[in-house]
């Protein structure tokens, strides 16, 4: 060693998070990315697959192939991974509620290829607790969900020792507004809940349990505040080592290592001046690669234009090249940990560990992560509200958003061609292929496989063997999901909307007065139904709209995610809503807005304004208005008070039109007026 240099480290695994349209199209993308130097796969599944539905089910309408690839059966898995030898590939699958099923399909394909299961390497995310808190692709209640996670861990421990059966995910916690201490505590508490479930099951011997702990991996987030992020990752390393040693008695230091993959913060990417996102992505990546002690084992980077829509292959290539330049052109991997002995870093690490330990103690006193779901959800809502308020005030600077907004036209934006779009024909093609699959399989074998699956689920036997048998018989994702819904039931997570949070009453004063004025004209408090139609579970935006609408004095109805258009319209009718808001981030906005507007007309509520928010390309704004939307908001509309004012003005304009036409708006005494809030903690 000279000049502090050591033997050069191997780089982390290079991944891009990818999948769209169909299994065949996604396979083509994977093989291109691998040819460009990507070293591992990271599969994105579409929302029907993630929530246990087939592509031709009613709830899947408009969602097929939009945010990932549809995988309805073993045939789709064959097409998805065609030409990719499974014994030579490390595959990460971002799948949670249906993780056991997608792993069963993967194992079935490996068996077809005569690949030894013990040689398979990769990860299923398989972390349902954070789905209740942030991402929303849960299906079953907490107890059976934990049981399914446990089943996967027990199975892989016996048959797939190189596989990571659970990827405890703090990524979406940060996107939901978590502070660094909350990220640390909530993720670690989740890992503890999972390991306690395995240990208490008695299905893994004391001798084998350390290997279970060693197989737990994490998936984290990193933002541009890279000093804090470096410190957070070093705190993760120390805290996990403590938990593995002190709680579970793991003596081998290698089995106590904090092993994690990372995607840098998509939440911090901006629609405005999106070219700036390249710098944000680089700085965020440095947070998880600079410190050798806490270096990520796998990195996947978003594309610069991900805030606009689905990135093109070239955009993903740009992010891959960024990783390769840092790994191969810099001297980062030539040295030991550059932060060892840093007083600044050590102080920050200890501060975060102290805060996280206090939060962990609070969760433990509540009975652990599962018992504390409501508390954690409300804490995330409150911290996210504070973050948004800081951006609105300008206390948190976002270049190109709330400061330095002057800009030149971007040569990277090709007027509507700057993102990849999924044709509506893809859904029809996928449905036709699915129906053909059902026709060619052995129906008797399918029926028997489903009977065996249901019996295993009902009797508490490990779900993996009958799931693999079902996969090989030709069972579909929707059929697997339907059987487990029969046994376990479904679940609706808390919305957290009642969370106590700081309220800047001075900044809200004008909007509150406007709400009072229009409510007076209406004869009752302005009523706002906020809906999340379709399968999109990313509810952060809808939650913050609901919180702010409540803060300014509206009567808000928000029941969380995954509502059908018919259910939203029913809510609006029962509440005698004055305005309906829809939040859609999955790309299915046109079909869902069209359906909600049509059903409102059918119920005689065609004059109720519909406002829409989400990741919506500019060229779709006029289409949405033709479908019935009165206003469309995208990520560039970050001032929530301006959105509130726009919504109230829409209602006021409706009142004025009715008055001009001689139609009175009579007072309705159905509900007592909701008092306006004046302060909150």
- The edge-to-edge listing of strands for the beta sheet with 631-633 is 555-558, 527-531, 579-584, 610-614, 631-633
Residue recorded with tokens 């809503």: 577
3-class SS string, 659-676: HHCCCCCCCCCCCCCCCC
Query: Max alpha carbon distance in the chain (Å)?
Result: 88
- The edge-to-edge listing of strands for the beta sheet with 260-264 is 13-15, 298-300, 260-264, 217-222, 167-169
CB proximity list for 81: less than 8 A, separation 6 or greater? 27, 30, 89, 91, 109
The three-class DSSP label of residue 613 is strand
Kind plus residue range of the DSSP H or E element containing 123: strand 121-124
Number of helices (H), then strands (E), in the chain = 24, 15
- At 641, list the tokens: 């008070």
652 vs 526: CA distance, rounded Å? 10
- At 16, list the tokens: 């891009």
Q: Which of 73, 172, 232, 377 is catalytic?
A: 172
610 DSSP β-pair partners: 580
Q: Which of 106, 171, 260, 558 is catalytic?
A: 171
491 a catalytic residue? no
171 a catalytic residue? yes
Q: Do the beta carbons of residue 258 and residue 216 sit within 8 Å?
A: no
Q: Which of 127, 536, 550, 551 is catalytic?
A: 536
218 DSSP β-pair partners: 168, 260
581 DSSP β-pair partners: 530, 611
3-class SS string, 49-69: HHCCCCCCCHHHCCCCCCCCE
Closest alpha carbon to 581 in 529, 526, 648: 529
- At 400, list the tokens: 């190109």
Measured at the CA of 527, the angle between CA 390 and CA 678, to 5 degrees, comes to 45
Q: How many CB atoms neighbour CB 518 within 10 A?
A: 22
Kind plus residue range of the DSSP H or E element containing 488: helix 477-488
Closest alpha carbon to 200 in 233, 159, 154: 154
CB proximity list for 361: less than 8 A, separation 6 or greater? none
Q: HSE (CB half, 13 Å, CA atoms) of 329?
A: 6
Kind plus residue range of the DSSP H or E element containing 580: strand 579-584
The three-class DSSP label of residue 153 is helix
CA distances for 85 relative to 113, 416, 544, angstroms? 8, 37, 45
Q: Do the beta carbons of residue 131 and residue 138 sit within 8 Å?
A: yes
Q: Do the beta carbons of residue 221 and residue 173 sit within 8 Å?
A: yes
Q: Which of 66, 130, 377, 532 is catalytic?
A: 532
> In degrees to the nearest 10, what's the CA dihedral of 351, 352, 357, 359?
120
589 a catalytic residue? no
Q: Which of 17, 53, 260, 633 is catalytic?
A: 17
550 a catalytic residue? no
CB proximity list for 107: less than 8 A, separation 6 or greater? 117, 120, 160, 464, 468, 471
Q: Which of 20, 472, 501, 538 is catalytic?
A: 538
The three-class DSSP label of residue 275 is helix
Entry field: residues in the chain: 681
CA distances for 675 relative to 545, 554, 556, angstroms? 18, 9, 12
Instruction: List active site positions.
Output: 17, 171-172, 532, 536, 538
């Amino acid at each position: 060693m000279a000049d502090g240099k050591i033997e050069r480290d191997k780089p982390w695994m290079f991944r891009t998070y990818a999948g769209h349209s169909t299994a065949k199209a996604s396979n083509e993308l994977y093989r291109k990315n691998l040819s460009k130097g990507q070293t591992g796969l990271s599969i994105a599944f579409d929302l029907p697959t993630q929530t246990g539905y087939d592509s031709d089910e009613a709830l899947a309408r408009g969602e097929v192939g939009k945010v990932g690839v549809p995988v309805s059966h073993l045939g789709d898995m064959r097409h998805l991974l065609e030409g990719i030898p499974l014994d030579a590939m490390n595959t990460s699958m971002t799948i949670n509620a249906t993780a056991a099923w997608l792993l069963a399909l993967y194992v079935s394909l490996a068996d077809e290829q005569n690949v030894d299961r013990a040689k398979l390497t990769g990860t299923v995310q398989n972390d349902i607790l954070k789905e209740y808190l942030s991402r929303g692709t849960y299906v079953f209640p907490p107890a059976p969900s934990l049981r399914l996670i446990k089943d996967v861990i027990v199975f892989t421990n016996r048959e797939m020792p190189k596989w990571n059966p659970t990827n405890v995910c703090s990524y979406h916690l940060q996107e939901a507004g978590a502070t660094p201490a909350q990220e640390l505590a909530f993720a670690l508490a989740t890992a503890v809940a999972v390991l306690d479930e395995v240990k208490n099951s008695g299905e893994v011997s004391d001798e084998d349990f350390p290997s279970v702990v060693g197989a737990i991996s994490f998936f984290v987030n990193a933002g541009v505040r890279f000093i804090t992020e470096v410190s957070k990752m070093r705190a993760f390393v120390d805290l996990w080592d403590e938990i593995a040693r002190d709680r579970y008695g793991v003596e081998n230091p290698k089995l106590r290592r904090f092993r994690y993959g990372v995607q840098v913060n998509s939440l911090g990417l901006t629609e405005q001046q999106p070219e700036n996102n390249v710098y944000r992505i680089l700085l965020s990546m440095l947070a998880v690669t600079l410190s050798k002690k806490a270096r990520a084992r796998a990195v996947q980077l978003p594309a610069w234009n991900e805030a606009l829509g689905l990135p093109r292959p070239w955009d993903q290539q740009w992010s891959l090249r960024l990783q390769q330049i840092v790994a191969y052109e810099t001297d980062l991997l030539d040295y030991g940990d550059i932060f060892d002995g840093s007083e600044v870093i050590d102080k920050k690490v200890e501060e975060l560990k102290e805060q996280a330990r206090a939060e962990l103690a609070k969760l433990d006193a509540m009975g652990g992560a599962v018992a504390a779901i409501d508390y954690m959800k409300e804490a995330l809502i409150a911290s996210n509200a504070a973050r948004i308020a800081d951006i609105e005030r300008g206390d948190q600077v976002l270049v190109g958003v709330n400061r330095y907004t002057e800009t030149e036209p971007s040569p990277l934006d090709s007027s509507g061609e700057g993102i990849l779009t999924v044709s509506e024909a893809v859904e029809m093609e996928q449905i036709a292929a699915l129906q053909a699959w059902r026709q060619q399989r052995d129906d008797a074998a399918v029926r028997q496989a489903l009977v065996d699956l249901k019996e295993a689920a009902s009797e508490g036997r490990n779900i993996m063997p009958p799931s693999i048998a079902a996969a090989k018989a030709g069972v579909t994702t929707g059929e697997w999901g339907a059987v487990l819904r029969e046994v376990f039931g479904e679940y609706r997570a808390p919305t957290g909307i009642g969370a106590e949070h700081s309220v800047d009453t001075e900044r809200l004063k004008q909007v509150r007065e406007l709400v009072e004025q229009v409510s007076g004209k209406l004869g009752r408090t302005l009523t706002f139904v906020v809906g999340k139609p379709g399968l999109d579970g990313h509810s952060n935006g809808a939650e913050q709209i609901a919180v702010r609408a409540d803060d300014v004095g509206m009567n808000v109805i928000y029941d969380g995610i995954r509502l059908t258009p018919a259910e939203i319209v029913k809510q609006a009718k029962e509440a005698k809503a004055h305005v309906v808001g829809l939040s859609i981030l999955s790309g299915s906005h046109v079909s869902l807005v069209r359906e909600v507007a049509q059903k409102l007309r059918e119920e005689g509520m065609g004059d109720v304004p519909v406002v829409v928010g989400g990741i919506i390309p500019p060229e779709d704004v006029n289409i949405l208005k033709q479908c019935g939307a009165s206003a469309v908001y995208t990520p560039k509309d970050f001032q929530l008070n301006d959105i509130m004012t726009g919504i109230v003005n829409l209602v006021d304009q409706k009142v004025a039109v009715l008055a001009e036409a001689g139609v009175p708006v009579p007072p309705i005494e159905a509900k007592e007026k909701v008092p306006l809030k004046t302060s909150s903690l």
